[in-house]
Amino acid sequence: MKLNELKIIVTGAGGGMGAHFARRLAEAGARVAAGDVNEAGLSELPASVFKRRLDVSSEKDCGEFVQWAHQSMGGLNGLINNAGILRDGLLVKKDRTTGQVTKLSAAEWDAVIAVNLTGATMMVREVVAKMVETESKPGVIVNISSIARHGNRGQSNYVSAKASLAANTLTWAREFAPFGIRVGAVAPGMIETPMTKGMNQKARDALVARIPVGRIGVPEDIWLGVKFILECDYFSGRTFDVDGGLSM
């Protein structure tokens, strides 16, 4: 699809990669509906972008946002499933000094799964249902997974969500092909965003030192991958890493 033909939702658009995607799409002439719990961040997007608060962990919010986006843009044929959070921690940890054993809390597990997996899935469900209902095709969905899907210490919750999202990229590509809807995924490596800035500094520095291209990524690097999926009508059902050669 051509970018200026898109009427597309971007979740997690209040900052970081999501905000960058929304800006680049708007610059290309797409109609964009941006959602995030960070309303202050949304307000900084261009005036041409439709903006509304969206908590993807709320099934009700997802449904209402999609209806609003469809009405606001005069249609809907795309989704960038970008919203995500981190609640890192070892599943089980033993303090080397005291011997105390601590566990990843159910709340930390549930929070990440609710946003990164359940919320992403609900957005896909609602967007595709609207496209099918209105017979809008072709359509395209881009899931933002992560290279952490291959497994990463201290991220059981995040890994589970991002691996599932990558696997379901193929599942959904097969399910939605009869409706003329493609599904692809980009798996970023270490990217300079507010989320990664909040990482443990020692862990962050160690990861950056292992990137073969010699630098941390920037949102534009991931945008180029997203843009490829949006524009290449022969791409579907696959997840590709954009990570500077980093192996977790």
Which token pair is 66? 């999609």
Q: Coil, strand, or helix at residue 136?
A: coil
Give, in degrees to the nearest 5, the angle at Cα 195 between 190 and 200. 75
Backbone angles phi, psi at 154, to 5 degrees: 80, 10
DSSP 8-class letter at 138: S
- Cα-based angle 20, 23, 25 (whole degrees, multiple of 5): 105
What size, in residues, is the chain? 248
State the catalytic residue, choosing from 158, 172, 176, 223: 158
Q: What are the Cα distances from residue 189, in Å, to 4, 240, 248? A: 28, 11, 9
Angle, nearest 10°, between helix axes 120-134 and 59-73? 40
154 CB burial (10 A radius; 0-12, 13-18, 19+):
middle
Distance from C-alpha of 24 to C-alpha of 248, rounded to nearest angstrom: 29
**Residue 116: strand, helix, or coil:** helix
Reference 156, options 229, 87, 73, 66; nearest CA is 87
Active site residue 234: no
Cβ atoms of 55 and 14 closer than 8 Å: no
Active site residues: 158
